[in-house]
Structure 1
């Protein structure tokens, strides 16, 4: 099974044999890949009942839960990695979710769509409406995205919180892009973070 580009990038950087909590794991595609390729002990938390059922049907240990309220039950330092892929912008309290991730895991992967990508900017400039693209396919009134974060915003957010960026990768058109001009040219970003 082919992984989404941000998930493939995360999978590439997870150390084999580690413990992972995939928050907002969807149908468990990343967890399945990590378990088969890297012998990772992967667990999942997912809000959508249909996705939980799909992941459990694959034999994956996934529980239904909400990242905004259900991370408090996990013990401190119980995972090597906490992963939040394409979910940060849908949480009510991104800062609280990130705090919990770095309490639960030694390292945290966060991936998100970059709302400062040139296509988004152009759509707003010329059409005057919130964009609907292949990567952001919902209308403004139907989107799960409640926080429109950019790479620049996230870098500032991480800096204000005193976190260390262990790695940052930028994706456009499904392939990696350089850090220069990423806020304009990258459609997605992946950050690997740790506490100071």
Structure 2
């Protein structure tokens, strides 16, 4: 964790701690630009964000964050291979339709990728299903009929997909609410954060 990261949400602070000072960073689904503004100001990063929400784009502009308004489902064709040191996809993977494509594109345009997502393996989710209902939690606060989350997974699910795509997992952090945990993360964590690279440090272009 960087010395300036205390003001960030714990998962974003962990992400910032994995990014070297002076890095070129692309944040996909960058929200209001909080992470990027921190990386620029505290870690002298060269930053670019991609965001679809009009309100979030305005908030990024107010922070002076360089942001491109685009739907991630359209891909990352505007970025050349290996342009970034790190590509971040924070709490958005579960809402992307083509999961494999976005991960391969992250590996193509960046030397490393960082993704975070709700852990569907948390013990309360299983309990909810046993009771006959889809889980509704702080990390997944939507009802089944209005949720943007279309691809929920567990830690092992993601690790299996990463292996299939040839992405090397470099580090993992797991959180229970605002606290980072290490004991029984598959059952106890509500949020997982992974850092990965392709075998050659750069992925291949997605079809």
Question: Which residue among 191, 194, 198 is the counterpart of 1:195?
Answer: 198
Q: CA deviation at 1:3?
A: 2.2
> Which residue number corresponds to residue 139 of structure 2?
135
Q: Which whole-Å CA distance do the structure 2 matches of 1:147 and 1:4 have between them?
A: 24
Q: CA deviation at 1:63?
A: 1.1
Q: TM-score, normalised by structure 1?
A: 0.95
User: Is 1:145 matched up with 2:153?
Assistant: no
> Which residue number corresponds to residue 186 of structure 1?
189
Ranges in structure 1 where 5+ consecutive residues have no aligned partner: none
Q: CA deviation at 1:2?
A: 3.3
Q: Which whole-Å CA distance do the structure 1 matches of 2:46 and 2:166 have between them?
A: 29
Q: CA deviation at 1:8?
A: 1.2
Per-residue deviation, residues 98-145 of structure 1 (Å, max 9, x unmatched): 00001000000011110111111111112x111111121111111110
Q: TM-score, normalised by structure 2?
A: 0.90
> Which residue number corresponds to residue 204 of structure 2?
none
> Which residue number corresponds to residue 174 of structure 1?
178
For the 8 Å contact 2:51–2:69, the answer to whether it is kept is: yes
For the 8 Å contact 2:75–2:102, the answer to whether it is kept is: no
Q: Which whole-Å CA distance do the structure 2 matches of 1:5 and 1:130 have between them?
A: 27
Q: CA deviation at 1:22?
A: 0.2
How is 1:25-174 mapped onto 2 (pairs within 5 angstroms)?
25-126=30-131, 128-174=132-178
> Which residue number corresponds to residue 203 of structure 2?
none
Q: Which whole-Å CA distance do the structure 2 matches of 1:182 and 1:104 have between them?
A: 30
Q: Which whole-Å CA distance do the structure 2 matches of 1:133 and 1:183 have between them?
A: 16
Number of residue pairs the alignment of both structures matches: 194
Q: Which whole-Å CA distance do the structure 2 matches of 1:174 and 1:30 have between them?
A: 16
Q: Which whole-Å CA distance do the structure 1 matches of 2:52 and 2:196 have between them?
A: 24
Instruction: Calculate the aligned-residue CA RMSD, in Å.
Output: 1.2
Question: Which residue among 7, 11, 15 is the counterpart of 2:16?
Answer: 11
Query: Would you identify which runs of 4 or more consecutive aligned residues in structure 1 move more than 4 Å?
Result: none
Ranges in structure 2 where 5+ consecutive residues have no aligned partner: 1-5, 200-207
Which range is displaced more, 117-126 or 26-35? Answer: 117-126
